[in-house]
Amino acid sequence: MKDQHIFWRDERLPHVELRLVREGRNVCYAPHSHEQWSMGAIINGHSSFDYRDQSFDIHAGDLVLMNPHWVHVCNPVSEAWGYWMLYIDRHWLALLRYELGTTHSAQWQDISQAVMAGPSHWFADYCDMAEALIDNNIEVLEKQSRLLEYLSALMLELAPRADACVAENPSSNRTDLTAVARILSEALSPAPTLQELAELAGCSEGHLVRSFKRQYGLAPHAYLLNARIQQARQLLRQGMSIAETALATGFSDQAHFQRVFKKLTAATPGQFVRQR
């Protein structure tokens, strides 16, 4: 069987790259390093991980973390292995960590932890986020939000508790998000980008996601999807077909609409129509 590779990039998310090897039988590396901060998830098989002067046996469900410019090598022990590898621009991540209050400056500071043994919710959430990034049917706002939510939670988890700052570092934590919520409620299609929403709110993208979720209980992309489903319920009640409703409320295809509708209402659109 041939190795199965996916390399993912999106110019709208220039600070992130992603690689997927679903089943690699001939994927071997020489010692190397990256300019970015990197994080891998082993999805099947068994491999070795040499990281500077440390060596680890890693298995499916484990996560590996690599600082910029730190030499490492990860190779299969079993016949075949599979993994995700996420590459994050170190300057972007350094600023996110500073805004979170986990570092005292926006300069890069190495992360001490190299492995997060699994299985864990960190592994499951990583895989969910990675699948969302490569899904062409998911809008960029959701991709941006899910990436930021995951990395923000992870950076807080990995921060040395004794060194962490008490509060976030943005100049103002009282961001007015009313206009952002209104735009999301009205933007059935196309969805605004996270950058556009952050500019509207006058804050960073990371600060926007955290503040919006604190104030409204949902991340921006989830708030948008909820607004779309509420509108879809009204259109279905008025007799619009399921296919037309999906298109009218900004979903790229009917299957995506069906999944989101069921997730938020515990019923398919067809069931909803029959019961109205």
Q: Is 269 helix (H, G, I), strand (E, B) or coil?
A: helix
β 115-116/16-24 pair status: unpaired
d(Cα 139, Cα 144) in Å, to the nearest integer? Answer: 9
pLDDT per residue as tens digits for the range 195-204: 899 998 888 8
What residues does each domain of the chain span? 5-158, 170-276
pLDDT per residue as tens digits for the range 62-99: 999 999 988 888 777 766 778 899 999 999 999 999 98
From the centroid of its chain, how far is CA 240?
A: 34
Report the chain's mean pLDDT, rounded to a whole number.
Answer: 85
Q: Is 22 helix (H, G, I), strand (E, B) or coil?
A: strand
Q: What is the pLDDT of residue 79?
A: 67
Looking at the domain 5-158, which fold is it? Answer: Jelly Rolls (2.60.120)
d(Cα 14, Cα 157) in Å, to the nearest integer? Answer: 25
Q: What is the pLDDT of residue 125?
A: 96
The parts of the chain modelled with pLDDT lower than 50 are 1-3, 162-173
Q: What is the pLDDT of residue 29?
A: 65
Q: Give which of 271, 6, 258 is closest to 137, Cα–Cα.
A: 258
d(Cα 18, Cα 86) in Å, to the nearest integer? Answer: 5
Looking at the domain 170-276, which fold is it? Answer: Arc Repressor Mutant, subunit A (1.10.10)
Handedness of CA 180, 184, 187, 192 (dihedral sign): positive
β 115-116/63-66 pair status: antiparallel
C-alpha dihedral over 133, 137, 141, 143, to 10 degrees?
-10
What are the DSSP calls for 80-103, one per residue? -EEEEEEEE-HHHHHHHHHHHTSS
From the centroid of its chain, how far is CA 254?
A: 23
The residue type at 229: I
Locate tokens 């009205």: which residue?
186
Phi, psi of 90 (to 5 degrees): -70, -30
- CA geometry: angle 186, 192, 193, nearest 5 deg: 155
Q: Do 185 and 157 touch, CB atoms closer than 8 A? A: no
Q: What is the pLDDT of residue 3?
A: 44
Q: What is the pLDDT of residue 162?
A: 39
Name 270's Cβ contacts closer than 8 Å, sequence gap at least 6: 242
